[in-house]
Chain A
Amino acid sequence: MRVIEAILDVFRNPQFYSITLTASTPLIYASLGGVFSEVTGVVNIALEGIMLMGAFVSTAFAYYTGNPWIGILMAMVVGVGIAWLHAWASIKWWGDQIVSGTAIILIAQGITGFLMKPVFGQVGQTDLEKFKMIKHITKDINPIIRPIKLPFPENSFLGQAFGTISPLVILAFVSVFIGWFIIYKTTLGLRMRSVGENPEAADTLGVNVYRIRYFGVLMSGVFASIGGAFLSVGDTGIFKELMTGGRGFIALAAMILGNWNPIGAMFASLLFGASEAFANQLQSSKLIEVSSSVKPLFNMVPFIVTLIVIGGFIGKTRPPAADGIPYKKSE
C-alpha cells in the first residue's frame, strides 16, 4: 500500500511539524481574536477581512520602511480601526453582526485589491525586486521577520522541526496564555464573560456593557491583524490578493471547536494547521505520483476536516448565551 506508506512518511518527516506550526499560527491569532469578541457577545465574522488588511498593511510598511516589525505594528493599528467599525455598527447601533462582518470582509477585499497598484506598483502579487525597481530603492530590504534559533541539536528531529522558528509563532502561544489569563483570572475577564452571557444582569450591577464589548471587539482586531500579518511578513514576505483564503472562517471554526476558550481554540487551530500541512506534504510526496490537475483537491483537506469536526462536535460546545444579540438598555 503505497498510499499508507506515503501517509506514514508524512508523519515521520520533521518538516510536517514545522509546516503545521506555520499553518496554525495565523489561525491561533485569529481564533484568539474571535474568542475575545464573542466572549463579550459580539459575533465577529469580519476576522477574514481584518486578517487580509493585516497582511496587506504589514507588507506595505515592511517594503517602504524595510522593517517588518513596523509592518506588524501598523497592521495592529489598522486592525483595531476596522474592528472599531464593526463595534460601532453592531454595539452602538445594534446592527446585525453578520451583515456588518460580511460588509467588512467585502470592503477589505475591495480595498486591498484596489491598492495593489498604487502602493506596490503591481497587481495580483507583490515582488520585492520589481517593487524596488519601480520605486527606485537600492538599499537591501528584508520584508520577513527574522526567525530565531532554538537550542535544539541541529540534526535531531526536534532541531529540524522546531530549530528555526519565527518569534511570531512563539508570541502566538504567549498571547493565548495571556488571553486565557485575562478572560478567566481577572475582573475584566469576569465582566467580559458576564456581558456575553447576560448583559442585562451585568448592567444592573453597574458593569458598562458597551465599554466591555468594545474592548472585546477591538482586541479581536489586534489579534486577527497579527494573524494576517504573519501570512505575509511572518512567513512569505509577499502579499497576494485574497491571500487569507478563508482562514478567518477556519479560525471561527477553531474558536467554536475550542468552546470559546483561548486554549481550546489554540488546540483546534493546531488541528486545522496540521491538516493543512498534511495535505501540503502528501501531494508532494515522492512515494505517490500526484498529477498537478488533482493537487487542488488536496487543498480542500483542511476544509473537509473543518466540516467533519464541526458537524461532529458543534452540539457539544456552548456559545455565550448572548452571543450575537445586540444589547439595548431597556426604557
Chain B
Amino acid sequence: MYEEYAVVMKGIVKRFPGVLANDHVDLFVRKGEIHAIVGENGAGKSTLMNQLYGLLHPDEGEIYVFGKKVDMKGPRDAIRNGIGMVHQHFMLVGNLTVAENVVLGSETTKGGFVFDLREARKRVKELSEKYGLHVDVDAKIEDIPVGMQQRVEIIKTLYRGAEILIFDEPTAVLTPQETEELFEVMRRLKAAGKTMIFISHKLNEVMEISDNITVMRLGKVTANLITKETNPREIARAMVGRDVVLRVEKPPHEPKDVVFEIENLWVKDNRGLDAVRGVSFKVRAGEIVGIAGVAGNGQSELVEAITGLRKIEKGKVTLLNRDITGLDPRSLRNMRMTHIPEDRLKYGMVLQYPAYYNMILGKHWWEPYSIRGFLNHPAIFEDSKKLFEEFDVRPRNINMLGGNFSGGNQQKIVVAREVSSQPKFIVVAQPTRGLDVGAIEFIHKTILKLREQDVAILLVSMELEEVFSLSDRILVMYEGEIMGEVKPEETNFEEVGLMMAGKRLEEVRS
C-alpha cells in the first residue's frame, strides 16, 4: 500500500490536556519531493512531525514509511526507518567538534571501545563533499556560525542513513543568503533522491522551494496545494481562515525633534566579550527606527543597555536632552522611556501575578496606583479593566494569572502596559515573536498609532518583513556594529541581507 509515497500519515489524532492538537490529519508525501507544511503557531505542524519522528505517539491513526506500516516508540525507530530531523533548536554539543557531533551515539570505533576519530573525520568529509555541505570537521560547534551548525545537523541525519529529512522551520535563524545556500543544498539532496518535509510559515520561501504544500489550521488540514498552481494569497487564506492584509499600511508622517540619541556605545555580553561595539544613532519624535540583524549580533545587549538592564562600558545616551547614561530602569521609566522586551515570559510579566498587577508593573509607584507607599487597588482594577477593553485582551478577566493567558494575549497585556504609560520613547523588541497573524496585525497597528502620536520608537526585530514594513529608517547590526543605514523604500531584502551577513553598505553598493 502507498508504494509511491515516502510518508503517509492517515487519520492522525493527537490530544493534549484541553487541546486537540491534531484532528484526523492526513499527510501524503511523495518520494523525492520537497513537501511544505505551513500553518500558524499552534496549528499542529510540530506535533505532527514529532509523531513522525517518534517523539510523540499518535492517539489514533496510522503511519506508513515507504509503503510499510510503522509504529515508532522513539527517535531511534524513526532513524531506523530512514527518517532524520533537522531541529529548529539545533541538537548539537557545543564543546565537541563537528565530526564528534555527527557520529555521537553511533560512533566509529577501534575494537568497540576506543573512539576512532580518524574514521569519523573521513566519513564526515565524504558526506560533506558528496552533498556540497561545507563544514570544518575539526572546529568546535561553539566556534562556527549558525549556517554551518545547520549543515552539521543535516550531515548528522545523512550519516544515520536518512532518506526522509524533516526540516523544522530551518530558515528562522538564517540570513537571506544562508537561506539561499540551504535551498541549494536541499535541491542537491532532492537530485540525490532524498525526500524532504519543510515546515515553515514564510510563504515566499515555501513558494520557492516546495513541490507540494499541506496547509494546517487549528489542528486540521485546510488545504492540499500544488506549489506551481497556487499563490501566497491563497495559502494565507487557508492558514488564517480569512483574507489577510499581508502588508501594513504606513501613512506618511513627518518626524519632529530628536528625542533619543546614543553615541559610541560599547556594551559587553554575559561572557565579558564586546557585544555592542561603538554604536551611534538618533531617534526622532514620530519616527520608527528599525534594527535588523540575525539573532545574537548584539541586539539584545543593545536593548538591555539602553533600558538600564545592562552596564554601559563606554559611550553616551541622551533622552530629551538629558544625559541618561547608566541610569537605572526606574529612573528611565520616570522619564517616560518604556520597553516591550523580547522575552515577555522572562522580562515582560510575572506569570504568577494576576493580570491587574501585570498591568501596572514598572509604574506601580506612580499615582494613582500607589498612594504614600500603599497600593491603591480600586484604581488598579479600574485601569486594568479599561486597558483590557481598549486592547481587546481575552478573556476579559483581570483576575486571571499572567501565565494562563495565551501568548498573543500576554503580549497584548505587555503592550497595553507600556503603551499606556505615555511614553516619549519606546523600545520595542521582537514584538510579534510567536504570535499569529491576527495578533501581529493588531500590534503593528498599535506601533504605528504611537508614531502618529509623535512617540520616538526603536524597533528591534529578527523578522525582516516586519522591519521593512514598519520602519522609517533601518539600521543593520552585525557583530555589534552598525553596517549601514537605509530607508526601506530605497533598499531591498538582498541588500539588507548582505549587511546582515557582515558587509558594509559602502561595500554592498560599490
CB of B404 within 8 Å of the partner chain = no
Question: Which among B56, B94, B105, B115 is the interface contact of A205 at CB below 8 angstroms?
Answer: B105
Question: Which among A185, A190, A204, A315 is the interface contact of B91 at CB below 8 angstroms?
Answer: A204
CB of A320 within 8 Å of the partner chain = yes
CB of B93 within 8 Å of the partner chain = yes
CB of A33 within 8 Å of the partner chain = no
Chain B, range 96-133, C-beta contacts under 8 Å to A: 96, 100-101, 104-107, 109, 113-115
CB of A243 within 8 Å of the partner chain = no
Q: Contact mask B192-222 → A, CB, 8 Å, 1/0? A: 0000000000000000000000000000000
Question: Which among A189, A207, A315 is the interface contact of B115 at CB below 8 angstroms?
Answer: A189
Per the bound structure, the CA–CA distance linking A201 and B94 in Å amounts to 10
Given A200-B91, A201-B91, A206-B75: A194 in contact with B104 (beta carbons within 8 A): yes
CB distance A193 to B95 under 8 Å?
Answer: yes
Question: Which among A187, A200, A207 is the interface contact of B109 at CB below 8 angstroms?
Answer: A187
Given A202-B105, A206-B75: A186 in contact with B114 (beta carbons within 8 A): yes
Question: Closest A-chain residue to B107, C-beta based?
Answer: A187
Given A185-B115, A206-B75, A206-B76: A320 in contact with B107 (beta carbons within 8 A): no
Per the bound structure, the CA–CA distance linking A315 and B268 in Å amounts to 15
Name the B residues within 8 Å of A190 (CB-CB).
96, 100, 104, 107, 115
CB of B483 within 8 Å of the partner chain = no
CB distance B272 to A202 under 8 Å?
Answer: no
CB of A160 within 8 Å of the partner chain = no
CB of B283 within 8 Å of the partner chain = no
Question: Closest B-chain residue to A204, C-beta based?
Answer: B91
Chain A interface, number of residues (Cβ within 8 angstroms): 23
CB distance A197 to B106 under 8 Å?
Answer: no
Q: Which of A186, A188, A201, A331 has the most CB of B within 10 A?
A: A201
CB distance B93 to A198 under 8 Å?
Answer: yes
Name the B residues within 8 Å of A206 (CB-CB).
75-76, 79, 105-106
CB distance A321 to B75 under 8 Å?
Answer: no
B137 to chain A, nearest CB (A): 15
CB of B92 within 8 Å of the partner chain = yes
Name the B residues within 8 Å of A186 (CB-CB).
113-115
Given A197-B93, A206-B105: A315 in contact with B113 (beta carbons within 8 A): no
B171 to chain A, nearest CB (A): 21
Question: Which among B56, B93, B107 is the interface contact of A331 at CB below 8 angstroms?
Answer: B56
Name the A residues within 8 Å of B106 (CB-CB).
205-206
Question: Closest A-chain residue to B95, C-beta based?
Answer: A197
Name the B residues within 8 Å of A318 (CB-CB).
95
CB distance B104 to A207 under 8 Å?
Answer: yes
B76 to chain A, nearest CB (A): 5
Question: Which among B79, B92, B107 is the interface contact of A201 at CB below 8 angstroms?
Answer: B92
Per the bound structure, the CA–CA distance linking A331 and B55 in Å amounts to 9
CB of A191 within 8 Å of the partner chain = yes
CB-based A-B contact count at 8 angstroms:
66
Q: Which of A194, A320, A321 has the most CB of B within 10 A?
A: A194
Chain B: number of interface residues, binned into ranges: 20 to 34
Per the bound structure, the CA–CA distance linking A189 and B113 in Å amounts to 10
B150 to chain A, nearest CB (A): 14
Q: Contact mask A165-194 → B, CB, 8 Å, 1/0? A: 000000000000000000001111111011
Question: Closest B-chain residue to A260, C-beta based?
Answer: B95
Per the bound structure, the CA–CA distance linking A206 and B78 in Å amounts to 11
Name the A residues within 8 Å of B105 (CB-CB).
191, 202, 205-207
Name the A residues within 8 Å of B95 (CB-CB).
193, 197, 318, 320-321
CB distance B100 to A204 under 8 Å?
Answer: no
CB distance A185 to B96 under 8 Å?
Answer: no
Name the B residues within 8 Å of A197 (CB-CB).
93-96
Per the bound structure, the CA–CA distance linking A187 and B56 in Å amounts to 29
Chain B, range 36-57, C-beta contacts under 8 Å to A: 55-56
A41 to chain B, nearest CB (A): 11
Chain B, range 165-203, C-beta contacts under 8 Å to A: none
Question: Closest A-chain residue to B75, C-beta based?
Answer: A204
Question: Which among A187, A194, A207 is the interface contact of B96 at CB below 8 angstroms?
Answer: A194
Question: Which among A202, A315, A321 is the interface contact of B94 at CB below 8 angstroms?
Answer: A321
Per the bound structure, the CA–CA distance linking A190 and B100 in Å amounts to 8
Name the A residues within 8 Å of B109 (CB-CB).
187
Given A206-B105, A207-B104: A194 in contact with B93 (beta carbons within 8 A): yes
Per the bound structure, the CA–CA distance linking A205 and B109 in Å amounts to 17
B93 to chain A, nearest CB (A): 4
Name the A residues within 8 Å of B96 (CB-CB).
190, 193-194, 197
Q: Contact mask B326-350 → A, CB, 8 Å, 1/0? A: 0000000000000000000000000
Per the bound structure, the CA–CA distance linking A186 and B107 in Å amounts to 10
CB distance B113 to A193 under 8 Å?
Answer: no
Q: Contact mask B272-313 → A, CB, 8 Å, 1/0? A: 100000000000000000000000000000000000000000
Can you sample 5 A-B contacts with CB below 8 Å? A186-B115, A193-B96, A197-B95, A200-B91, A207-B104
If A190-B104, A194-B93, A197-B93 are given as contacts, then 12 extra A-B residue pairs at C-beta distance below 8 Å, sorted by A number, are: A188-B113, A191-B105, A194-B96, A197-B95, A198-B92, A201-B91, A202-B105, A204-B91, A206-B79, A207-B104, A315-B272, A320-B95
Interface on B for A, CB 8 Å cutoff?
Answer: 55-56, 75-76, 79, 87, 90-96, 100-101, 104-107, 109, 113-115, 156, 272
The 6 closest A-B pairs by CB, nearest first: A205-B105, A201-B91, A187-B107, A194-B93, A198-B93, A206-B105
